[in-house]
Amino acid sequence: MTTTDVAALRELLPEGRVFDDPDVLAAHSRDRATFCPSGTPAALVRARSTEDVSAVLRWANDNRVPVVPQGARSGLSGAANALDGSVLLSLEKMDAIVEIDPDEQVAVVQPGVINGDLAAAVAEKGLFYPPDPGSRGISTIGGNVSTNAGGMCCVKYGVTGDFVRGLEVVLADGSVMRTGRRTAKGVAGYDLTRLVVGAEGTLGVVTEVTVALRPASAQPLTAVAFFPEVAQAARTVTGFLAAGHRPSVLEFMDASSVAAVQQIADLGFPEGMAGMLLVQSDIGEAAPAQLAAFEEVASATGAAEVVVSDSAAEGELLMQARRLVGDAHEKLGKALLIDDVCVPRRNLEEMVTGLNRIEAEHRVQVLCAGHAGDGNMHPVVAFDESDPDETARARQAFDAIMALGLSLGGTITGEHGVGQLKREWLGRELDQAGLRTSHAIKRALDPNDILNPTRVLPGG
């Protein structure tokens, strides 16, 4: 893409949409993934309407220019990193909450709406938008849809895709497609909505999202439990869930993560513990009984201490421990490689034991926290980026973690997506027929390979 091309693109769009200042481009060239190279883009377009998106894609398709859709660039897999000569297509300015319909319990939003803003807006009307990725304060609904983002709510409420009823999508040739429905149910034709959800911008660009809402839940109550051995925490997770409980949160933090959090906020947690579970119940009057059941299971499996809070406010303080994990890890002053494997719950113990082995073998620090109720762990490899040898070992450890997840019957990504970071690993998770089918779909929908090329699918 040349300067002439940028001029041509500027011609096609209303004023104030196209930017090519090198500093602006550099500032928009990366998401939050580690180990993902980014290229030099030719232009940034800040779309303000579906027509803008349509014009960009039509032009890019005619001229074979790669387009990288971007939300808040808070992703962790490099899917929003610039490609050389690409157009960065930012949806951030399309940030209107178009409609909240309390009777039908749906909302219609543009892709640039911040997750937390939508959650707050529907809460004002007594409604609840559950998907709550850790990035919810900064990430956009469009990005959440493109990665099929999860969060702490998933153990009870499901992932982003479970709340997407319909989409407006601009296809590679610039045509506009409406998928899905507004109604509670609908099976008219192929599920194009779910095909686009999680496709990380490789099959189309999402310009409007219709999401399902739920009635507000009761204020949750919270409990935490501390275990001398990881196996005890793992058995508590499976035992508590197998007894029929559906907590709204069920999180794990390993010893290093608890210690790192204690460094930035002394929460008075006991010392020498191998792991901690944090559970919430949002079922109102029945919540204390559910947490009592948790306490019983945890104590029976060997918890050294269980704290059950009887006020929502105190519970919120305990939740801070989990929310601070990201900050605490960053305060270690090292580069972080955040993984996202999801394994059957009963294999949590083997997962954590395996992480300790990987830590020893590759001589890098591996911390772990995650959504224990889903078996979705976020092991974090902390390493010194200025040391090339340690950096190489970090990379190996990261790969070893995915191999471990697969060997335990799991997946390489529970909620962060494949992007650029894990595309070669996708080739190890899918079988040949699945890879062929995925490539066939990509070719069918984007024959000129302009939509976020080289992302998600491995190989050619």
Does 199 participate in binding a second copy (rule CB under 8 A)? yes
Instruction: Give the H/E segment covering residue 425.
Output: helix 423-429
The interface mask with a second copy, positions 334-363, x = CB under 8 A, is --------xxxxx-----------------
Which of 51, 95, 117, 162 is in the footprint of a second copy by CB under 8 A?
A: 162
Provide the minimum distance between the beta carbon of 391 and a second copy in the complex, in angstroms, as a whole number: 26
CA dihedral 310, 311, 314, 320 (to 10 degrees): 100
Which residues, listed in sequence order, are joined to residue 108 by a DSSP beta bridge?
A: 99, 210
Give the nearest distance from C-beta 212 to a second copy in angstroms.
10
The separation between CA 391 and the C-alpha centre of its own chain, rounded to angstroms, equals 24
The 129-148 site mask, x for binding a second copy (CB under 8 A), equals ------------------xx
Give the DSSP H/E element, type plus range, for residue 319.
Answer: helix 312-323
Query: Least separation, in Å, of the C-beta of 397 and a second copy?
Result: 20
Closest to 305 in 3D by CA, of 214, 206, 378, 232:
232
Q: Least distance from C-beta 296 to a second copy, angstroms? A: 16
460 binds a second copy (CB under 8 A): no
Q: How many CA atoms lie within 13 A of 342 on its CB side?
A: 15
Instruction: State which of residues 113, 203, 255, 276 lies at the interface with a second copy (CB under 8 A).
Output: 203
Q: State the minimum distance, in angstroms, from the CB of residue 35 to a second copy.
A: 18
Count residues contacting a second copy (CB under 8 A)? Answer: 89
Judged by CB under 8 A, does residue 415 bind a second copy?
Answer: yes
| Cβ-based nearer residue to a second copy, 323 or 346 | 346
- Based on the shown chain and the rule CB under 8 A, indicate whether residue 395 belongs to the binding site for a second copy: no
Q: Show contacts with a second copy in window 217-246 (CB under 8 A).
A: 238, 241-246
Contact by Cβ (8 Å): 363, 411: no
The least CB distance from residue 67 to a second copy, in Å, is: 17
441 in contact with a second copy (CB under 8 A): yes
Task: Using the minimum distance from each CB to a second copy, give the nearer residue, 10 or 181.
Answer: 181
Among 9, 45, 68, 192, binds a second copy (CB under 8 A): 192
What token pair was written down for 121? 């807006």
Nearest to 133, CA basis, from 119, 122, 121, 124: 119
Please state the closest distance from residue 408 (CB atom) to a second copy, in A. Answer: 10
Q: For residues 283 and 290, what is the distance between their CA atoms, to the nearest angstrom? A: 9
The least distance separating a second copy from the CB of residue 32, rounded to whole angstroms, comes to 17
- CA–CA separation, 181 and 183 (whole Å): 6
Beta carbons within 10 angstroms of residue 3's beta carbon: 10
Q: By CB under 8 A, is residue 21 in contact with a second copy?
A: no
Please state whether 391 falls in left (phi above 0), alpha (psi between -120 and 50) or beta.
alpha
Is 457 an interacting residue with respect to a second copy (CB under 8 A)?
A: yes
Hunting for tokens 């990509």 — which residue is that?
A: 442
Among the listed residues 426, 450, 452, 455, the single contact to a second copy using CB under 8 A: 426
> Of 11-19, 30-38, 168-176, 291-299, which segment contacts a second copy by CB under 8 A?
168-176
Distance, in Å, from the CA atom of 124 to the CA atom of 398, rounded to the nearest integer, reads: 42
332 binds a second copy (CB under 8 A): no
Considering only residues 66 to 105 of the shown chain, the ones binding a second copy according to CB under 8 A are: 102-105
Q: Residues with Cβ < 8 Å from 4, sequence gap 6 or more?
A: none
Q: Which stretch binds a second copy (CB under 8 A): 85-93, 280-288, 314-322, 389-397?
A: 280-288
Residue 325 CB, shortest distance to a second copy, in Å, is: 18
Report the side by side order of strands in the sheet with 164-170. Answer: 97-101, 106-109, 205-212, 164-170, 176-180
